[in-house]
Amino acid sequence: MKLSKINKKSVRKIFNPIRIIKAVRIQKKSKKNPDRCRNDAQLKFYSSVFCSDYLHYGYFKDVNTDPADISFNDFHQAQVDYALQFVDHIELKDLPILDIGCGMGGLTNLFYEKGFKAYALTPDLHQVDYIKAKCPNIPVIGTKFEEIDSVKYQNYFGTLITSESLQYLHLEHSLDLMNKLLVKEGTWLVCDYFRKGESHEKSGHNWDYFSQTIAKNGWTIISETDITLNVAVTLGYAYEFCKRIGLPLYEFIIGKIKLKQAGFSYLANDLLENIDQNLHSGIEVVKPQRFIDEKKYVFLIIKRTVDCS
């Protein structure tokens, strides 16, 4: 069959009214699906690209590292160095650790290799299967943190970890759960970014709101280490990659579509313009200086000073 006939057939399918109506219904249904987080394609993509079990920003010891000089191996080492921050701050070494939002289990497995008993928690089915297959000795709790069995694990953990996962949790409810899961002398280790004020990009808790809320609920920040500049190196790497490879590749593909499929390009013009706007907006989000201006990335050691159980 000729390529032109295939293209015509595909276009007829795309713009078939019945298929359009069905597509709208599927889209609406998918947005309401409570299990969307149980199969996160984005995190699966990241793990495939970087061939790593770590899904965090990474920690570059030299904040002046030129993004253009970073290799995949450099980035992997930065992720390992990021994870190692936690190891030295495990105080109750004989008690289990709960890695909340464990991703592909890289950090949890590091704890296991260092001789700790660590539990991995994730609602993502792909991550659950991956960790069970690769690290069969690590217990995996396949649920959202908000749905963990707080009776079963009451006063069970000596350390709670939220490594770039706190931003996804409802703070007040999570603090109540943490209070139930953690032993009295336990430690909560946080490594994540926070919004310093108004921000164009709304991910991350507001720092003032976070610090006031945990204080109100009987928690105290024992230590705060600002690592914003160390993780901003990764953003610089991502920004350069998008500008030098991602954006030119996108423009090449769109140019080919407009040249070879002028009719389809005309019909899909609004869609293509929307994709173009979102792409440029997304690139701006990873601009290092913008991140530094609007957010702070910190490593926190937090203890309970008031028993709220």
Domains of the chain with bracketed CATH:
67-228+294-304 (3.40.50.150)
What mean pLDDT, rounded, does the chain reach? 82
Q: Are 57 and 114 in contact (CB under 8 A)?
A: no
Structure tokens at 137: 């000795």
6 against 65, higher pLDDT: 65
Torsion over CA: 165, 169, 172, 175 (sign): negative
Q: What's the confidence (pLDDT) of residue 240?
A: 82
Residue 100: Cβ-neighbour burial (10 angstroms; 0-12, 13-18, 19+):
buried
| SS3 call for 57 | coil
Q: What's the confidence (pLDDT) of residue 260?
A: 74
Chain segment 106-143, per-residue pLDDT in tens: 999 999 999 999 999 999 999 999 999 999 999 999 99
What percentage of the chain exceeds 90 in pLDDT? 55
Over residues 286-295, the mean pLDDT reads 88
Measured between alpha carbons, how far is 105 from 159 in angstroms, rounded to an integer?
Answer: 16
Q: What's the confidence (pLDDT) of residue 102?
A: 94
Measured between alpha carbons, how far is 280 from 273 in angstroms, rounded to an integer?
Answer: 11
Q: What's the confidence (pLDDT) of residue 210?
A: 96
Q: Is the pLDDT of residue 164 over 50?
A: yes
Torsion over CA: 235, 159, 301, 308 (sign): positive
Chain segment 176-192, per-residue pLDDT in tens: 999 999 999 999 999 99
User: Which region among 61-65, 121-125, 295-299, 303-307 has the lowest average model confidence (pLDDT)?
Assistant: 303-307
273 against 133, higher pLDDT: 133
> Closest Cα to residue 226, out of 25, 47, 85, 31?
85
Torsion of CA 49, 52, 54, 59, to 10 degrees: -90
Chain segment 14-69, per-residue pLDDT in tens: 445 455 445 455 555 555 554 544 444 444 444 444 556 777 889 999 999 998 89
Q: What's the confidence (pLDDT) of residue 267?
A: 64
Most confident of 17-21, 276-280, 300-304: 300-304
Over residues 261-269, the mean pLDDT reads 68
Q: What's the confidence (pLDDT) of residue 151?
A: 96
Q: What's the confidence (pLDDT) of residue 47?
A: 46
Q: What's the confidence (pLDDT) of residue 48?
A: 47
